[in-house]
Structure 1
Amino acid sequence: MAGTDSLENIDKDLKEVLDFCVSSGLTSSQIVSGARPLLDAANQSKRRAWLRRVVLVSLAVAVVAFLFQNTWTYRWICIASKITAMKVLPYWDWTPLYDEECILQNPYIIQDKLTEDDCQECVNYKKLEYVYNLTHEMVAEDYLFSNLPFIVLDATTGWKATSEFNAESLKKLFTENKVLRSHNVCQYINNEGQPLADVLAGRASTFHTVWSNCQLQAIKVFRSYYHRPYFLPPMVEAALENFVAFSSGKSEQTSGEEDEDSDFLKHVVVDDLTWFAQIRGNYFIQLRPKQPCDNICSLFSFVLEEGQTMVVTNDMWEWHFAPADSAPTIAIGSTGNWDS
């Protein structure tokens, strides 16, 4: 109440001063000129308050950045956060939020869905195209925007992996390299459930497996064995993660039929594009069009041979792969996204 009364009194006084100025014959410009010192003082006060807020926010950001950059304090922040989260769990189940990509959903975002119109691009695409010496424009216009898979014949030229990777060197790399040995892999899949340690130590003679390197230091080490495929246009933002497919001793795939006893692994990824480069041996691959394109587009079954790189968009196609024969087989790959 006291604050309201004070504002009313100030407003009343200002009106009286304005009425006095008008009755004295002063013009609007003269009144503004006379009030300028008061207005300047008020603006200066606002600037000081704004500057004070900026300084306080900057200090807070600097302190938080320092705490998170310092290894010791960051570790304790993580420990305290995890302990707090566990203690809160009996009173509030926050686990559904942990699995959400966005806490606040944007109602203006429209999720792209595959339509039958999209499928028309592949109606006449009955045979995979094997291409080389590509330009960025060709890749974008002829394949990516049309969701057409293709095989590149010269993508791995000059890669360190092509000259150095074999079954023994790959095992040695992941067991003896200081960084790769100390960083766990992620999204590890083995169709026989064998631990990766058994595969790399040679305790598994027959295996078919794939895993991803998703910790930054491990990603950097593995990237030294390949570089960004030359044919990817600038619109493709390459993912940090890379993955390795490694198989040996499996029976030959000839029919292309997948059943519960087959050696196929399904490649699951949410990014727009995947490239998959055959380094050693051969993989048998099935590209299956997704609904509603499954009755419109062709199913492709083929053997990816050493030195070839498959490129496929993941919106329209799901793909499965298995070793084409019993020889040691190695492939590496990664994904990418773009603004459509």
Structure 2
Amino acid sequence: MSYVLFQFDPVEKFVSTVGRRAAIHILPIFDWTKFYESNCLVSNPLHESQSELKLEDCNICESVNKIERIKDITEAKLVNKYLKQDRPVIVQDGLKQNDISKFTVDFLTKIFEDSMFEGCEFTSNVKVGGHRSFLKQVNAGEHEHYFAYWRNCFEEPAKEFRFYFKKPYFFSSVVELIDTNWVYIAKNYTAKSSKPILIEGPVIMLMQMKGSVDIVLIPDKLCSDICSEVTQTLHEGEILLLTDFLWLIDYYPRGTGESIGIGVTASFD
């Protein structure tokens, strides 16, 4: 049974991500860094020559203290200047081809209400069984202060949800969006501690469809003495892009109003 589960790609990715975070937390108890270069946690096709993180790679993030904001970017410049250099970037006009005004709790409720699948890794301050029950309750006005996060890990609902947003203008046909996607929403909720975004992939995109959210980039433990955490606000209509080579991602639901974001990963042919 366990073998079958690990052949299911969402399960494998989830275990990989959780394992990576757990490895960071147990470092004070067990120094696993001497084994670090013997097994790569996630293969990244954008790093054919450096698929395993080494101490010298930390030079990449040593001087990073903020995330650069750009717009009107070409695919070639984005890939060569940022993604292949493992430099996170925010594209301010990244969602200009999408009608983001339609992304509301009511819209999400209608998308998922007839689905027979629950999402994976559902997390919320509201005690409910899953994202569908959560959406129905908040859409009915039962909760005024909330946050929630889940992954559409099953192929059918993930593909269906994918129809509601377009590939960013700066990516051509050589870039494929992976069907699994993530949703994080909040309203009138200020978190005292950051929430982990358990997302990994060759290219990670966080798309802010409504409101804003504070994103925290946490350097890999190997680089923690060299690189610093970076916190920046992702505003409505913007996309954060990065690779998972150097960074883990947390976020803070903060402030009043409604916030809706979508996380996706992409791969290059």
Q: TM-score range by the shorter chain?
A: 0.7 to 0.9
C-alpha contact (below 8 Å) 1:140/1:233 kept by paired residues: no
Q: Which residue of 2 aligns with 1:302?
A: 232
TM-score by length of 2: 0.74
Q: 1:166 to 1:298 in 2, by over 3 A?
A: same
Q: Which residue of 2 aligns with 1:289?
A: 219
Does residue 120 of the first structure (1) align with residue 59 of the second (2)?
yes
Identity, % of aligned positions: 24
- Of the structure 1 ranges 328-337 and 186-195, higher mean CA displacement relative to structure 2 is found in 186-195
Q: Which residue of 2 aligns with 1:65?
A: none
Say which of 62, 80, 105 aligns to 1:141.
Answer: 80
Say which of 166, 184, 187 aligns to 2:118.
Answer: 184
- Aligned partner of residue 201 in structure 1, secondary structure: helix
Does residue 173 of the first structure (1) align with residue 111 of the second (2)?
yes
Does residue 316 of the first structure (1) align with residue 259 of the second (2)?
no
Q: Which residue of 1 aligns with 2:134?
A: 198
How many positions carry a matched residue from both structures?
Answer: 225
Deviation of 1:307 after TM superposition, in Å, equals 1.0
Deviation of 1:290 after TM superposition, in Å, equals 0.7
Structure 1: give runs of 5+ residues left out of the alignment: 1-93, 103-108, 254-261
- Aligned partner of residue 221 in structure 2, secondary structure: coil
Using CA pairs below 8 Å that are at least 6 residues apart, which structure has the higher relative contact order? 2
Q: 1:242 to 1:100 in 2, by over 3 A?
A: closer
- Of the structure 1 ranges 329-338 and 309-318, higher mean CA displacement relative to structure 2 is found in 329-338
Q: 1:191 to 1:293 in 2, by over 3 A?
A: farther
Q: Deviation string for 1:105-163 (max 9, x for gaps)?
A: xxxx9733211222212333333110111112211111111111110011111213x02
Counterpart of 1:186, as a letter, is: C
Deviation of 1:338 after TM superposition, in Å, equals 4.5
TM-score by length of 1: 0.59
For 1:1-340, list aligned pairs within 5 A.
Answer: 95=2, 97-98=3-4, 100=6, 111=40, 112-160=51-99, 162-175=100-113, 178=114, 181-191=115-125, 193-195=127-129, 196=131, 197-202=133-138, 203-232=142-171, 236-251=175-190, 262-338=192-268
Deviation of 1:204 after TM superposition, in Å, equals 3.2
Q: 1:139 to 1:200 in 2, by over 3 A?
A: same
Counterpart of 1:183, as a letter, is: F
Deviation of 1:164 after TM superposition, in Å, equals 0.8
Counterpart of 1:120, as a letter, is: N
Q: Deviation string for 1:227-256 (max 9, x for gaps)?
A: 1123246664421112211111212x6xxx
How far apart in 2 are the matches of 1:206 and 1:307? 23
Q: RMSD value over aligned CA atoms?
A: 2.6
Q: Deviation string for 1:49-79 (max 9, x for gaps)?
A: xxxxxxxxxxxxxxxxxxxxxxxxxxxxxxx
Q: 1:182 to 1:192 in 2, by over 3 A?
A: closer
Q: Deviation string for 1:197-220 (max 9, x for gaps)?
A: 034322333221111223333233
Q: Deviation string for 1:14-65 (max 9, x for gaps)?
A: xxxxxxxxxxxxxxxxxxxxxxxxxxxxxxxxxxxxxxxxxxxxxxxxxxxx
Question: Which protein has the bigger helix share?
Answer: 1
C-alpha contact (below 8 Å) 1:174/1:200 kept by paired residues: no
Counterpart of 1:310, as a letter, is: L
- Aligned partner of residue 130 in structure 1, secondary structure: strand
